[in-house]
Structure 1
C-alpha cells in the first residue's frame, strides 16, 4: 500500500479528496449517499470518461485538443444521417461509421500540426470553430429525433429494486466506457507505441533523435482521441435518444480540467488512466453534490476552478518542499 501511494501520489490524493467530499455531502444532503445516486453518477459520467481517456493520450504526447467535443457533435449528426441512408444499420455499423469519422477529424488536426508546424492549441481552436460553424450552418441548429430503434432502445446491463420501490441500474454507456478505458490503458502501458508517446511528450527532440516517428505519434494520439470522440458521441445519442448539434458545446473545457486534475501534465510525458478517471469522477461528484444542495451552477464553476488550481499546485510541488514553506522555514533571511 505504501509503495502504491508513493508511486501514485496524484491518484492517492484524488481518492482522499473524493472520500472527504463524499463524507461531507452525505451529511449535507439527503440523497447523495445512496445507491441510486451512485449508479446515476456512473451512468452520466460514462461519456465524459470516454472523452477523457482519449484526451489523455493527446496530453501524454505533448499536445492539446479542444475541438474533440464539437467533433463528437459532428460525428453524431453525420452518423445519424448515414444510418438513415443505409436503412438503419446496427451497433456494429454505427460504431464503424462514428469511429471512422472521428479518426478522420483527429487526423485533420494531426495533419495541420505536423505538416504546417502549428501549435496544437492554435490548430484545434481553428478546427473547433470550423467544425462548429459548418455543423450549425448545414443543420441550422435542428435536432434529429428519428433515430434507429437499436440506438434509442435502452440497454440495461444490471438492475435491482430497492426496498423503497426505486430501481438502480447500469446501462450500456458504462460497458462502452469500461472497454474504452481498458483499451486506452493497454495502449499507453502495454505497447511500444505507448512508451513512444510518453517519450515524445516528455522530450520531442530526444525522441526524434532516437528514431521515433514524430508524425506517426501525432496521428496516433489525435486519431485515438478522434476515435473516442466518435464513440462517445454515438453513446451520448443512445443515452439522450436524440442528436442535438450543440449538445457538447463547452464540454471540452470540463473534460480537459478533469484530465489535468487527474495528473496529466500539459507539457506532455505524464498521465495515467486511473488518474484521468478519478479526475472526471471527482468533478462529477462535486457537481452532483452541489446540485443536490441547491447551489448555483455558476458557483460550481468557481469551486471547480479553485479545486483544479489547488490540485495542480500540489501535484507540481514536492511535499518535502511544501512543508517548510508552510512552517515559515523557507523564507529568505
Structure 2
C-alpha cells in the first residue's frame, strides 16, 4: 500500500491524463454534445476563475501551508474595486492594480498571523475567512453592484470562428488570463530561486530554516501570491457575470482545493506541479460538465469532491509515514 501511494504521487500527471482520456471516451459515447469544440471552449472559460484561484492555492500548499480564506479575499477585492470604479469613476489602469493590492494585503495579513502567532494555517485562515466575509457583508449590507463600467463588464474576444455546424467558438479574456496565470506560476515555481525555496520549505521546514531560508519572507510571499491570485480571480469573475455580488465567490473553496490536491499538490507541502493542477481542473470540469449533460444530480459532483480530498489526504498520509519510517531506519543503520 505504501509503495502504491508513493507511485501515485510520483506519477500523478500521467495517471490524471489517462483518467481524462478514459473519461473523455465514456462521455463522448454517452452524449453527442460533449466532444464539440464549442462545449470544450465553454468548459475552459467556465473554469477560468477556478484555475486562477487553484494556482494560488497550489503555491501555498507547496510551501507547506493551507488557506481557506481565498474566496472571501476574492470577494472583498472584487467588491472594493467595483465600489471605487463605479463611485469614483477610476479607470482600469488604476482599478485593476487596486484590486490586486487589496488581495495582496489580505494575504499578507494571513501570513503575519500564521507566522507570528504560530498557529496552524488552516485555523487562522478559517478565522480570517469568517472575518473578511462578515465585514464585507456588514459594511455593504449585502447590496450588489450592477452598473460596472464598460471596460470591466464588456466581453473581450481575442479570436472567434464558426464551426461547420454553425456553433460560434470564442477565445475570450478569461481563457487568456487563466493561461497567463498558469504560465507565470510555472515560471515562478520552477525558474526562480524563491519558488525553489518555497518548495524546500514545504518539504522540510526545519531543514529549510537551517539552510538559512527566510521562513517569514517565504510565508509572506506564498500567501501574498495567493492573495494576488484571489484578487485577480475576483475581478475575472465579476467580468464574466457583469456584476459584483458580495457572496458570489464564497462557497466554492472545496472545488478549488480539490483541483489542487487532485493535481498532486500535497497537503503536507513540498510536492506539486502546475501541470498537475491544470490536469486536475480539467478532470473536474469534464466530470461536472458530463454529469450535467447526462442529467445527473449536481449533488453527486459534491460527493466526488469530498472523495477526492479524502483519497488525496489518505495517500499523502501514507506517503508521509513511509518517508518517516525510512528516515528512522537510515538513522538506526
Whether TM exceeds 0.5 here: the answer is: yes
Q: Compute the displacement of 1:164 (Å).
A: 2.4
Instruction: Decide whether the 8 Å contact of 1:10 with 1:315 is kept in 2.
Output: no
| Cα deviations by residue, 1:183-209 (Å, 9 ceiling, x for unpaired) | 111111001101110111111111111
Matches within 5 A, 1:6-25: 9-25=11-27
User: Counterpart in 1 of 2:242?
Assistant: 241
Q: Compute the displacement of 1:310 (Å).
A: 4.8
User: Counterpart in 2 of 1:177?
Assistant: 178
SS of 2:115 mapped into structure 1:
helix
User: Counterpart in 2 of 1:121?
Assistant: 122
User: Counterpart in 1 of 2:326?
Assistant: none
Aligned residues: 314
Q: Compute the displacement of 1:58 (Å).
A: 0.3
Instruction: Decide whether the 8 Å contact of 2:254 with 2:305 is kept in 1.
Output: no
User: Counterpart in 2 of 1:198?
Assistant: 199
Q: Compute the displacement of 1:94 (Å).
A: 2.6
User: Counterpart in 2 of 1:324?
Assistant: none
User: Counterpart in 2 of 1:32?
Assistant: 34
Which runs of 5 or more structure 1 residues have no equivalent in the other structure?
322-333
Provide the rounded CA distance (Å) in 1 between the counterparts of 2:72 and 2:187: 27
Q: Compute the displacement of 1:149 (Å).
A: 0.5
| Greater Cα shift, 300-309 or 162-171 | 300-309
Provide the rounded CA distance (Å) in 1 between the counterparts of 2:178 and 2:10: 23
Matches within 5 A, 1:1-333: 9-90=11-92, 92-310=93-311
1:307–1:60 CA distance, 2 compared to 1 (3 A): closer
SS of 1:124 mapped into structure 2:
helix
Q: Compute the displacement of 1:309 (Å).
A: 4.3
SS of 2:66 mapped into structure 1:
coil
| Cα deviations by residue, 1:285-321 (Å, 9 ceiling, x for unpaired) | 1001001111111111113333554566667779xx9
User: Counterpart in 2 of 1:330?
Assistant: none
Instruction: Decide whether the 8 Å contact of 2:64 with 2:270 is kept in 1.
Output: yes
| Cα deviations by residue, 1:242-299 (Å, 9 ceiling, x for unpaired) | 1111111111111001100100011111110000111111111100100111111111
SS of 1:160 mapped into structure 2:
strand
Instruction: Decide whether the 8 Å contact of 1:88 with 1:148 is kept in 2.
Output: no
Q: Compute the displacement of 1:95 (Å).
A: 2.1
Provide the rounded CA distance (Å) in 2 between the counterparts of 1:150 and 1:100: 19
Which runs of 5 or more structure 2 residues have no equivalent in the other structure?
1-6, 323-333
Q: Compute the displacement of 1:88 (Å).
A: 3.8
| Cα deviations by residue, 1:29-49 (Å, 9 ceiling, x for unpaired) | 121111110000111111111
Provide the rounded CA distance (Å) in 1 between the counterparts of 2:136 and 2:303: 30
1:11–1:242 CA distance, 2 compared to 1 (3 A): same
| Cα deviations by residue, 1:98-144 (Å, 9 ceiling, x for unpaired) | 11000000000001001111110000000000011111112222111
SS of 2:146 mapped into structure 1:
coil
Instruction: Decide whether the 8 Å contact of 1:158 with 1:170 is kept in 2.
Output: yes
Instruction: Decide whether the 8 Å contact of 1:14 with 1:278 is kept in 2.
Output: yes
Provide the rounded CA distance (Å) in 1 between the counterparts of 2:17 and 2:114: 36
1:62–1:10 CA distance, 2 compared to 1 (3 A): same
Q: Compute the displacement of 1:85 (Å).
A: 4.1
SS of 1:137 mapped into structure 2:
helix
| Greater Cα shift, 68-77 or 304-313 | 304-313
Instruction: Decide whether the 8 Å contact of 2:9 with 2:264 is kept in 1.
Output: no
Instruction: Decide whether the 8 Å contact of 1:62 with 1:200 is kept in 2.
Output: yes
Instruction: Decide whether the 8 Å contact of 1:58 with 1:225 is kept in 2.
Output: yes
